[in-house]
């Protein structure tokens, strides 16, 4: 039996980056806010203690702090003609769980997308003609421009304390930064991170080649910093336990370091953890949300009424909650109609592995965002005409760690075991640099999310089904990028290099990227988007949906900077909604 709890002004589903920012900003105005989080509460001192945090087996291999597939997973297949099967063990991507969400275990690379990325369809059509766009694509412009998002990017960067070097302040190109970035109002709040020896080689080689390398923007901080919420962080010590780990040192921006200490002091805020929201409840006509239903730690069901429902789970689980709640029309790829689950996209990874001689790269001395990058081949920063593909990649020379269970590179052809393997591991640990291209993925008619007809979660609800593969456009792009990476690797003085093309078909086993985007995209037309430009549901105006699920397609960058910016844009929308109580954009 579902029991009803007293009404709240705002209920927030999920207490990660987006949920904690909105919870703070809204409870700060005096609203009664409850955040419902299915995972545990996590604090730095207890959960990422320096005496326990640096444990590769526990966190990176056994995936201790991630969502456990037993609780929820997805099914997957590469195309609609196949039968999807459950992802029984995470591999290609690793969703977070608990307070802080994926903001606990991320690497911290915090990018702004480029101005062209936001009007990608118009831009490509104007420059190359519509016929240039790939077959079956669903590429669409964002409903906001870079210029409109700039102040929100800035806001998130201030809260997170991002370390970096501006490349373009108010139109003035800054030496040492990224000359391709959109004009920013001011520099990053903290200076760029120190770089390692391989980044030095990369920067020299790339500069000589006429490219434009710069230290990539980092949420592992270069200096002590106190953010606008009054939360303080300490400089990063390059301990090498960053991605897939919580930071023990208060050096990695996360909800724990940047928001929760301020949020928890708001007297009208309450978090309920180990409670899983199962549904957003709607009025009989389906036009307004009345709150959420959740299941507590004992399996009891509760109804939490609220005037405003903010869906702030991980991108994939936002989409599933909308599907399970009947908010928005589910996407049907056969008819090419409907919107929820439409435009799922991901990220490409390709590059070159470079083996050097007589170097000591000391890979263990690293942070999640140590790395030099260049954007010469990203977005439309180069002429795509001769290449016949859409999109691009950020190219980086980066190493995030030297943790040896997962990092013990050997040259191709080395046996997987025995004395020859052991010698190769011994000889190569210090002398490998990876030049990687993290590329965009466009949206397509046949890459989408829906509910699985067979498999259920522990509560008996259908799992979400992911139908995804890299399309010819992405393969062409990523493999061209791998060749660019290889040129740079050779120019760095590598003795030998190995080109890593894009792995196709997409496979769930090797880790690739937790940059799952789309499925509840923002747009200007309710026929092709779930949300309007304020991340407000077109169909249920008191529901706002945060996160990378709003991206119409994915760019050649890590998503969190843009997720943060959209959160502050959405917050402005929520403030407007609280004044006017209706759709903020008329369809």
Partner 1 sequence: MVDSGGHWPGKKPFRRPEPPPSHSGVTRRSLLATAALLITTSGVSARIVTKVLPWKPNEAYPVTPVVPGGYLFFTANEAAVVDAFVDRLIPTDELGPGAKDAGVTTFIDRQLTGPYGGHDWLYMQGPFSSNPLPTQGLQSPLTPRQQYRLGLAALESYCNTTFYRGFIQLKPEEQDTLIAGLEKGEVQLPNFSSKMLFNAIHGNTIEGYFADPIYGGNRDMAGWKLVGFPGVRYDFRDVLDNPNKPYTLPPVGMQGRPAWGAR
Binding partner 1 (rule: CB under 8 A), the pick from 28, 68, 158, 490 is 68
Q: Of 37 and 376, which has the nearer Cβ to partner 1?
A: 37
Quick one: tokens of 538? Answer: 């077109």
Q: Is 408 a residue of the active site? A: no
Q: Of 201 and 373, which has the nearer Cβ to partner 1?
A: 201
Compute how many other C-beta atoms are within 10 angstroms of the C-beta atom of residue 66: 21
**Shortest gap between Cβ of 5 and partner 1 (angstroms)?**
6
Q: Does 505 bind partner 1 (CB under 8 A)?
A: yes
Q: Does 54 bind partner 1 (CB under 8 A)?
A: yes
Tell me the DSSP string of 503-570.
PSS--SSS------B-SS-B-S-TTS-SB-TTSBBSS-TTEEE-SGGG-SSB-SS-SHHHHHHHHHHH
**Shortest gap between Cβ of 527 and partner 1 (angstroms)?**
32
Tell me the DSSP string of 109-148.
B-PPPPHHHHTHHHHHHHHH-GGGSPTTB-----SS-HHH
# binding residues, partner 1 (CB under 8 A): 102
In what helix (H) or strand (E) does residue 490 lie, and over which residues does it extend?
A: helix 472-491
Whole-angstrom distance, CA of residue 340 vs CA of residue 355: 45
Q: Does 85 bind partner 1 (CB under 8 A)?
A: yes
Q: Of 68 and 490, which has the nearer Cβ to partner 1?
A: 68
Compute how many other C-beta atoms are within 10 angstroms of the C-beta atom of residue 189: 20
Specify the stretch interacting with partner 1 by CB under 8 A; choose among 78-86, 111-119, 378-386, 471-479. 78-86
On the CB side of 491, how many CA atoms lie within 13 Å of its CA? 20
Q: Does 197 bind partner 1 (CB under 8 A)?
A: yes
Dihedral pair phi/psi, residue 542, rounded to 5°: -95, 25
**Shortest gap between Cβ of 523 and partner 1 (angstroms)?**
30
Binding partner 1 (rule: CB under 8 A), the pick from 125, 362, 381, 414 is 362
Compute how many other C-beta atoms are within 10 angstroms of the C-beta atom of residue 83: 9
Binding partner 1 (rule: CB under 8 A), the pick from 12, 14, 26, 47 is 47
Binding partner 1 (rule: CB under 8 A), the pick from 168, 381, 430, 576 is 430
Q: Does 56 bind partner 1 (CB under 8 A)?
A: yes
Quick one: tokens of 577? Answer: 């909604």
- Among residue numbers 393 through 412, which ones bind partner 1 (CB under 8 A)? 402-405, 408
Q: Does 272 bind partner 1 (CB under 8 A)?
A: yes
Q: What is the dihedral of CA 526, 528, 533, 534, to 10 degrees?
A: 70
Q: What is the dihedral of CA 283, 288, 291, 292, to 10 degrees?
A: 80
Specify the stretch interacting with partner 1 by CB under 8 A; choose among 103-111, 272-280, 311-319, 326-334. 272-280
Q: Does 305 bind partner 1 (CB under 8 A)?
A: no
**Shortest gap between Cβ of 539 and partner 1 (angstroms)?**
30
Q: Does 224 bind partner 1 (CB under 8 A)?
A: no
Catalytically active residues, by annotation: 515
């Amino acid at each position: 039996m579902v029991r009803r709890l007293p009404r709240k002004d705002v209920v927030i589903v999920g207490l990660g980056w987006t949920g904690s920012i909105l919870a703070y900003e809204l409870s700060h105005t005096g609203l009664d806010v409850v955040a419902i989080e299915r995972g545990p509460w996590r604090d730095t001192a207890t959960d990422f203690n320096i005496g326990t945090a640096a444990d590769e087996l526990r966190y990176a291999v056994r995936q201790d702090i991630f969502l456990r597939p037993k609780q929820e997973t997805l099914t997957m297949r590469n195309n609609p003609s196949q039968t999807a099967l459950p992802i029984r063990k995470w591999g290609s991507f690793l969703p977070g769980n608990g307070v802080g969400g994926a903001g606990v275990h991320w690497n911290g690379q915090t990018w702004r997308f480029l101005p062209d990325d936001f009007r990608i369809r118009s831009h490509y059509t104007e420059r190359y003609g519509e016929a240039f766009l790939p077959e079956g694509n669903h590429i669409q412009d964002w409903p906001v421009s870079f210029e409109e998002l700039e102040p929100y990017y800035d806001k998130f960067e201030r809260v997170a304390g991002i370390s970096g070097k501006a490349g373009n302040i108010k139109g003035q190109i800054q030496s040492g930064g990224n000359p391709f970035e959109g004009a920013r109002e001011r520099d990053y709040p903290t200076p760029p991170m120190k770089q390692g020896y391989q980044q030095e080689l990369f920067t020299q080689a790339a500069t000589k080649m006429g490219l434009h390398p710069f230290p990539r923007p980092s949420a592992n901080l270069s200096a002590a910093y106190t953010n606008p919420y009054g939360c303080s962080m300490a400089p990063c010590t390059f301990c090498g336990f960053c991605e897939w780990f919580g930071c023990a040192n208060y050096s990695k921006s996360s909800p724990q370091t940047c928001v929760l200490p301020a949020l928890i002091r708001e007297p009208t805020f309450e978090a309920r953890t180990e409670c899983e929201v199962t549904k957003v409840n709607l009025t009989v006509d389906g036009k307004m949300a009345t709150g959420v239903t959740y299941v507590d730690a004992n399996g009891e069901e509760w109804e939490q009424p609220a005037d405003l429902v903010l869906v702030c789970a991980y991108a994939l689980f936002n989409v599933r909650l909308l599907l399970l709640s009947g908010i928005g029309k589910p996407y049907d790829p056969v008819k090419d109609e409907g919107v929820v689950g439409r435009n799922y996209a991901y990220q490409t990874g390709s590059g070159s592995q470079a083996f050097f001689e007589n170097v000591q790269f000391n890979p263990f001395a690293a942070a999640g965002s140590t790395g030099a990058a260049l954007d010469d081949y990203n977005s439309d920063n180069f002429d795509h005409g001769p290449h016949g593909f859409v999109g691009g990649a950020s190219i980086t020379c980066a190493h995030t760690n030297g943790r040896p269970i997962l990092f013990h590179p050997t040259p191709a052809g080395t046996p997987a075991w025995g004395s020859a393997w052991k010698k190769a591991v011994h000889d190569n640990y210090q002398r490998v640099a990876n030049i990687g291209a993290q590329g965009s993925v466009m949206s397509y008619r046949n890459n989408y999310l829906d509910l699985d007809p067979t498999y259920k979660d522990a509560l008996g609800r259908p799992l979400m089904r992911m139908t995804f593969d890299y399309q010819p456009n992405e393969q062409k792009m990523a493999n061209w990028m791998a060749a660019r990476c290889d040129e740079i690797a050779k120019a760095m003085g590598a003795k030998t290099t190995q080109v890593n093309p894009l792995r196709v078909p997409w496979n769930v086993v090797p880790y690739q990227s937790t940059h799952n985007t789309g499925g509840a995209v923002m747009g200007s037309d309710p026929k092709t988007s779930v949300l309007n430009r304020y991340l407000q549901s077109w169909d249920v105006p008191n529901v706002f949906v945060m996160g990378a699920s709003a991206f119409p397609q994915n760019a050649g960058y890590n998503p969190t900077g843009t997720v943060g910016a959209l959160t502050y844009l959405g917050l402005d929308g929520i403030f407007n909604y609280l004044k006017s109580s209706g759709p903020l954009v008329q369809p």
